[in-house]
Amino acid sequence: MKGFAPPQRFGGAQIPQEPMPITRTITVTEGISVKDLAEKLGIRGKDLIATLLLRGVFVTVNQSLDAELVKDVARQFGADTQVITFEDQMANEAMESILSQENPDELEVPRPPVVTVMGHVDHGKTSLLDAIRETDVAGGEAGGITQHIGAYKVKINKQDSPAFGREIVFLDTPGHEAFTRMRARGAKVTDIVIVVVAADDGVMPQTLEAIDHARAANVPIIVAVNKIDKPDAQPDRVKQQLGDRGLVPEAWGGSTVFVDVSAKKKQNLDLLLEMICLVADIQDLKATPGRSAVGTVIEAKLDRGRGAVASVLVQNGTLRNQESFIVGNTFGKIRAMFDDRGRPVEAAGPSTPVEILGLESIPDAGDTFLVVSDRDKAKGIAQYRKMKEREAQLAKSSRVSLEGLAEQIKQAGVKDLPIILKGDVQGSVQVLADSLQKMSTEKVRIKVIHSGAGAITESDVLLASASNAIIIGFNVRPERKTAELAEQEGVEIRLHSIIYELQDEIRKAMLGLLEPVFKEVYLGRAEVLNVFKIPKVGTIAGCRITDGVLRRDAEVRLSRDGEQLYKGKLSSLKRFKDDAREVTSGMECGVGLSNFNDIQIGDHMEAFVTERVAAELTAS
């Protein structure tokens, strides 16, 4: 053909030296083997192996290939490639088999809603869940219901209730952190979030966190105002506080469902369940019991007697004993299945939580669970994913950063910059949140997805990881564990103490003119055990080094309850009576700070040095 070099012979194989014109499109699954790709391309396996060999890639006929390599090689043989996940392929096959039947609409049935309960500590989340469980008369057991798997079904048994006979699934997760961890893994498990607020206590920091997490997941919110039986209960005050946050009750012309309940006196629990069913009806939740099961892992553990055990929520289809499955980067065959009360079951339909045995290894919470007919294929996909996960850990995922913002704007046009804002006092936080959001332009929209007073916590890092956000600390610092988690998750934390400097940094980032000139290198951490006031010298802190090293030439930050009080140089560092150049972990020493004497027992010092790095100036 004109314009193309003749094919090269390689051990009897016909290999085109230059790409052929694109004449077709093929769809392949992730981790496709050399043999399967050759079949899709309509060529011999040895021709494909020879082509890969010329590229310096040594493979066997059953080896899995990377998506980019598949696209590259297929293009050489005149085919455009669309790579889909194994789950997508199985879903497509299941849908095709359903559509091929006579009345596919009849196969879709309403499914029970899945509800997650969140809220501030000690506002009665557990009491409310226990009270709802006790109203489930059909599931009553001697000595109460035994919780096995972190999720359970409740059937509405009240005869005169409009929702009589309907079922609701409650997820008993340990708060919004677990909820967001699952969402960070791409799991869409929850249909409705119930935010529990105590009527005598009002809206608290964790209440606002729970609301921000639910909003970030784009899930309908029902507010349960608990403890209305208490004499000092003020449910209207709660509604007012939440109304100011955008959750306006329906009775006040808003769209949020509020239910006044008492877990202790079991007041209005039926009304709460009816409201859940009503919100679920608006969402029109449906599933197809006839298809192969697909679901999500709620939690997993290693049991000494039973091996790897996973709690799974079946979201669609019906899960049966002895079926092979793939979940995340592991696989297995169901040896036994138990319901939420520990009873063995043979099958589980949509919106049913079950505990399964038969896993090869422990999956992660939020992994997708999928029934497959070909166990060998499941094993191949699991091994491929394990390899990809190892690669991903070596090359950390590229999170959004202020330096790279201009480049991302060039590539994507309008860019959302999600920010989590933490400060020392609520007043500063509100002013900062307002001023940052007003800085939005046509190209960059700044969204403050969560703000609050207090130190930067692990929960903030998890929310930032799930929402691809940047954390900004104003006069506050992250704890050591929080900083380690942020590094692990690839989340950027920016710390400031002057408002205009923070605004200037964000403005420069938006224009692509940000210059990271200095970088802080962490040295060590010390705890103040005692304080000595010495005339003509000042205050000396008796410290123990808890981590790393404290050096005489280092800068230090002094923090109390997560809030930064001082940043500057050491005036003295002594070991017993002698001056010391550095003191290492586990040792005690005396520390003096330049022009600062307000040191208290229990304060923490963090030592660091500032290094100059090359500026990365990007033209706007």
Asked if the structure places residue 233 within a domain, the reply is yes
**pLDDT per residue as tens digits for the range 455-508:** 888 888 888 888 888 899 888 888 888 888 888 888 888 888 887 788 888 877
From CA 44, how far away is CA 65, in angstroms rounded? 16
Average pLDDT over every residue of 355-361: 87
Q: What is the pLDDT of residue 528?
A: 93
569: three-class secondary structure by DSSP: strand
pLDDT digits (tens, 9 = 90+) for 397-446: 455 666 566 666 555 555 678 888 888 776 677 778 888 888 887 777 78
Q: Residue 491 is which amino acid?
A: V
Among residues 363, 394, 425, the one where a domain terminates is 394
* Percent of the chain topping pLDDT 90: 4
- N residues, the chain: 620
Does residue 267 sit in the same domain as residue 119?
Answer: yes
Whether 183 and 271 map to the same domain: the answer is yes
Under 8 Å CB-to-CB from 292, ≥6 apart: which residues? 90, 94, 317, 370, 371, 372, 373
Which string of b and e fits 222-235 if b means at least 16 CB within 10 Å?
bbbbbbbbeeebbb
pLDDT at 168 over 60: yes
Least confident stretch, 508-522, 545-559, 581-595: 508-522
Q: Are residues 469 and 505 in the same domain?
A: yes
Q: Are 498 and 445 part of one and the same domain? A: yes
Query: So what's the pLDDT on residue 138?
Result: 35
Between 115-119, 120-124, 127-131, the lowest mean confidence (pLDDT) is in 120-124
Q: Are residues 347 and 440 in the same domain?
A: no
| Among 208, 214, 280, 276, residue whose Cα is nearest residue 245 | 208
565 and 441 share a domain?
Answer: no
Residue 5 per-residue DSSP state: P
DSSP-derived 3-state class of residue 150: coil
Instruction: Give the 3-state secondary structure of residue 391.
Output: helix
User: What is the enclosing helix (H) or strand (E) of 15?
Assistant: strand 13-15
The CATH number of the domain holding residue 234 is: 3.40.50.300
pLDDT, mean of residues 370-395: 71
Query: Residue 44 CA to chain centroid, in angstroms?
Result: 44
- Which two tokens mark 277? 């069913």
pLDDT at 3: 45
In a domain, 71, yes or no: yes
pLDDT at position 392: 60
Q: What is the mean pLDDT of the segment spanning 229-236?
A: 82
Specify the pTM.
Answer: 0.57
Give the pLDDT score at 397. 47
Q: What number of other Cβ atoms are within 10 A of residue 459's Cβ?
A: 18
Residue that is last in its domain, among 46, 69, 84: 84
Residues 6+ apart with CB under 8 A from 162: 274
Report pLDDT for 90.
Answer: 57
Between 546 and 288, the higher pLDDT residue = 546
In 3D, which of 261, 257, 263 has the Cα closest to residue 275?
Answer: 257
Query: 360: domain CATH number?
Result: 2.40.30.10
Higher-scoring residue by pLDDT: 122, 149: 122
Q: Do 121 and 190 belong to one domain?
A: yes
pLDDT-derived band at 14 (thresholds 50, 70, 90) equals low
Per-residue model confidence (pLDDT) at position 98: 47
Residue 480 and residue 600 share a domain: no
Please report which confidence band the pLDDT of residue 79 belongs to, taking 50, 70 and 90 as the band edges. Answer: confident
Q: Decide if pLDDT at 29 tops 50.
A: yes
In a domain, 190, yes or no: yes
Task: Write out pLDDT tens, residues 174-221.
Answer: 555 556 656 555 557 788 888 888 888 888 877 888 888 888 878 888
3-state secondary structure of 337: strand
Residues 33 and 179 in one domain: no
Q: What domain count does the chain have?
A: 5
Residue 508 domain flag: yes
Dig out the tokens for 483 from the structure: 């900083």
The H or E element that residue 209 is part of is helix 205-216
Q: Is the pLDDT of residue 293 over 60?
A: yes
Q: Is residue 514 predicted with pLDDT exceeding 70?
A: no
Which domain does 483 fall in, by range? 405-514
pLDDT of 28 strictly over 60: yes
Q: Kindly state whether residues 182 and 247 are assigned to the same domain.
A: yes
Q: Residue 457 is part of a domain; what is its CATH number?
A: 3.40.50.10050
Same domain for 525 and 510: no
- 1 lies in some domain: no
In a domain, 496, yes or no: yes
In tens, the pLDDT along 131-141 reads 887 654 334 33
Model pLDDT, residue 177: 54
Q: What is the CA radius of gyration of the chain?
A: 29
Instruction: Indicate if the pLDDT at residue 22 is higher than 80.
Output: no
- For residues 506 and 526, state if they share a domain: no
Show which of 456, 487, 514 is a domain's final residue: 514
Residue 97's pLDDT band, with cuts at 50, 70 and 90, is low
Asked if residue 94 is part of any domain, the answer here is no
- Least trusted range by pLDDT, from 14-28, 370-384, 429-443, 573-587: 14-28
- pLDDT at position 399, please? 59
Q: Which of 85-99, 252-266, 436-450, 513-527 has the lowest mean pLDDT?
A: 85-99
Q: Note whether residue 97 is domain-resident.
A: no
C-beta atoms surrounding 510 within 10 Å: 22
